[in-house]
Amino acid sequence: MPEEAVKQRRRGRTQPKGRQVEPEALAEVRDLLGDAPRGREFLIEYLHLLQGRFGHLSARHLAALAEEMRLAMAEVWEVATFYAHLDTVKEGEDPPPALTLRVCDSLSCELAGAPALLDSLRAAFPEARVVTAPCMGRCDCAPVVEAGHGHVDRATPETVRAAVSDEAGHAVPAAPHGDYAQFRACLEGRRTREKVTAEIEAAGLRGMGGAGFPSARKWGFVRAGPKPRHLTVNADEGEPGTFKDRHFLETAPGAVLEGALIAAWAVEADTITIYLRDEYPVAREIMAAEIARLGELAPPGGVHLRRGAGAYICGEESAMIESIEGKRGLPRHRPPYVAQVGLHGRPTLVHNVETLYWMPAILERGAAWFAETGRHGGKGWRAYSVSGRVKEPGVKIVPAGVTARELIEEFSGGMAEGRAFKAYLPGGASGGILPASLADIPLDFGKLEPHGCFTGSGAVVVLAEGDDVGAAALNLMRFFAYESCGQCTPCRVGTEKAARLMAEPAWDRGVLEDLAAVMADASICGLGQAAPNPLRCAMKYFPEDVGL
């Protein structure tokens, strides 16, 4: 070893190991963040800001951000590479093109011709990065393309070109502001916490995000914990086929926010954090404006709007909380449950958007108005997201407990022209697939489970004769494989293996049933546990479509 090198080794390092922070990059990061707080919980938002300014996340800027936030580079890098909407560029790699076109490849968009659209766009936009992307929550407007950070509904190469060329961008539609009359009654003492809780319980209001847990009972669990307490709003609906929350956020932001204020007051929560999926930029602007109007109505800790970055797994409540804290969206092992140990380690109430939407109306009109509505034993009102082979897709606000046949014929204009009803998904990607012969079962909690399905978030995707149910189930399994967080082996390996087997002309029933059992029994969270539902239903109800 040369003498100078030996001396250098004896003296020790003159700088720390790892990538050194470039002064110019650090100055750019500091200029971008300004006086904003540097807490870990803001990491994902700052990654969005960096990408918005520079078009991607370079290693130099990530190192500077880590330095500025007093985080390890590994902590920043693992978050930046976890989320699909964050474009990290390693040292020596070329940055992505200025224009990215994401073509939704969810089931509804695939039925509407997304594969052919993808090929057409790649030919029409050779200068752009044209890729597939999971469900964008616009299934009633299929096929959908995200151009930059705006969306093109019922997309064609021509309409995408027009959208890209439109420098004015997309106008944010006006939404009615809330008057917060019911919440004011709570603050002014005209209602007590006990009476409000009793009213919500008498109405039979349940969680509308998928599990259907009674809302008032959830309040009791959270109130049993020590203060301070938090409320988080799960607005990260990523279930393929689901778009009802976007409808409420864009058309009734005041009602949703008032519901959140009522729930936070009921459990004496100090803060409200709304976690909104990144695919909803219009909803984000509308909600930000509504939050700004709250003034003295806001709880002591304020109302905070956080956006995700493209991760279906963050719809799971503990993964969502991890993401709000500025981490990868990995589901936590339970117990403890988030009602006991949630956001920042404190008792946390988690509510879905639709659940909150109904709360002010229940207090205004009374529990009986809600509880006495319904069909076939259902209780209350329910918003169903209907897409696929129907004449009039969209959000249908109807009595809870309607059947799929009623939803199609009474509220969706019937089947699309020239199409005959074959099958339907009663609860999005994870809710299974049922034949038209079972379309008279109420779409309600507990009614579909005996048939291997559930209603979940109320996402109903309708298939017609001529549609291949095996191909539909494969589309859903590929979605689960892509969206698996990778934390547990049954889900990470099982979904990928199942997708490969399901791509074969004839399915291997024995192997797939074994895989399904392992995923359902041993996965950490609901993603892996529910992923087998579509394949099990396809083998049970449509063996001719899967070569059995």
CATH of the domain at 116: 3.40.30.10
Kindly report the average pLDDT of the chain as a whole number: 94
Are residue 475 and residue 451 in the same domain, yes or no?
no
pLDDT-derived band at 6 (thresholds 50, 70, 90) equals low
Among the listed ranges 107-121, 174-188, 322-336, which one has the minimum average pLDDT value? 174-188
Pair of tokens at residue 224: 């049993």
pLDDT attached to residue 304: 98
Structural contact between residues 380 and 371, judged by C-beta atoms closer than 8 angstroms:
yes
CA angle (34, 40, 42) in 5-degree steps:
50
**Any domain includes 8:** no
* Domain interval for residue 509: 469-546
Task: Evaluate if residue 167 carries a pLDDT over 70.
Answer: no
pLDDT attached to residue 5: 56
Are residue 151 and residue 268 in the same domain, yes or no?
no
Helix, strand, coil percent content, the chain, rounded in steps of 5:
45, 15, 40
Give residues with Cβ within 8 angstroms of 545, minimum separation 6.
468, 469, 470, 471, 538
pLDDT-derived band at 175 (thresholds 50, 70, 90) equals confident
Mean pLDDT, rounded, for 444-463? 95
- Of residues 7 and 369, more confidently modeled: 369
C-alpha span between 198 and 333 (Å, rounded): 32
- Of residues 166 and 323, more confidently modeled: 323
Are residue 478 and residue 460 in the same domain, yes or no?
no
Between strands 150-152 and 230-235, the pairing is unpaired
**Any domain includes 95:** no
Mean pLDDT, rounded, for 19-32? 94
pLDDT-derived band at 169 (thresholds 50, 70, 90) equals low
C-alpha span between 184 and 494 (Å, rounded): 50
122 exposed, middle or buried (CB, 10 Å; 0-12, 13-18, 19+)? middle
C-alpha span between 17 and 13 (Å, rounded): 8
Task: Evaluate if residue 18 carries a pLDDT over 90.
Answer: no
CA angle (456, 458, 463) in 5-degree steps:
105
Task: Evaluate if residue 168 carries a pLDDT over 90.
Answer: no
Sheet with 271-276, edge to edge strand ranges: 303-307, 271-276, 230-235, 348-352
Mean pLDDT, rounded, for 39-58? 96
pLDDT attached to residue 212: 86
Among the listed ranges 16-30, 33-47, 400-414, which one has the minimum average pLDDT value? 16-30
pLDDT one-digit tens code per residue, 137-150: 999 999 999 998 89
Structural contact between residues 461 and 474, judged by C-beta atoms closer than 8 angstroms:
no
C-alpha span between 1 and 91 (Å, rounded): 30
**Any domain includes 11:** no
pLDDT attached to residue 274: 98
Pair of tokens at residue 482: 């892509």
Structural contact between residues 160 and 101, judged by C-beta atoms closer than 8 angstroms:
yes
Structural contact between residues 473 and 445, judged by C-beta atoms closer than 8 angstroms:
no
Q: Give the Å distances, CA to CA, from 447 to 402, 403, 432.
A: 11, 10, 13
Q: Give the Å distances, CA to CA, from 189 to 186, 252, 392.
A: 5, 26, 45
Are residue 307 and residue 353 in the same domain, yes or no?
yes
Are residue 316 and residue 389 in the same domain, yes or no?
no
Task: Evaluate if residue 91 carries a pLDDT over 90.
Answer: no
What is the Cα Rg of the chain in Å?
24
Are residue 188 and residue 327 in the same domain, yes or no?
yes
Pair of tokens at residue 19: 């990538």
Mean pLDDT, rounded, for 90-110? 93
Model pTM score: 0.94
pLDDT attached to residue 8: 55
**Any domain includes 526:** yes
pLDDT attached to residue 545: 97
Helix (H, G, I), strand (E, B) or coil at 362: helix
Task: Evaluate if residue 402 carries a pLDDT over 70.
Answer: yes
Are residue 340 and residue 473 in the same domain, yes or no?
no
pLDDT-derived band at 211 (thresholds 50, 70, 90) equals confident
Closest alpha carbon to 318 in 304, 306, 307, 334: 334
Are residue 265 and residue 349 in the same domain, yes or no?
yes
Helix (H, G, I), strand (E, B) or coil at 150: strand
pLDDT-derived band at 204 (thresholds 50, 70, 90) equals very high
**Any domain includes 434:** yes
Give residues with Cβ within 8 angstroms of 16, minimum separation 6.
none
C-alpha span between 1 and 538 (Å, rounded): 68
Structural contact between residues 464 and 436, judged by C-beta atoms closer than 8 angstroms:
no
Other Cβ atoms within 10 Å of 414 Cβ, number: 14
How far out from the chain centre does Cα 545 lie? 30
Closest alpha carbon to 308 in 322, 298, 290: 322
Total count of domains within the chain: 5
**Any domain includes 410:** yes
Mean pLDDT, rounded, for 220-232? 97
Task: Evaluate if residue 235 carries a pLDDT over 90.
Answer: yes
**Any domain includes 292:** yes
Closest alpha carbon to 148 in 96, 113, 95: 96
pLDDT attached to residue 134: 95
Are residue 346 and residue 419 in the same domain, yes or no?
no
Closest alpha carbon to 480 in 533, 536, 545: 533
CATH number at residue 46: 1.10.10.1590
Measured over the CA atoms of residue 135, residue 136, residue 137 and residue 140, the dihedral's sign is negative
Closest alpha carbon to 89 in 111, 107, 62, 68: 62
In percent, how much of the chain has pLDDT > 90?
91
Are residue 487 and residue 540 in the same domain, yes or no?
yes
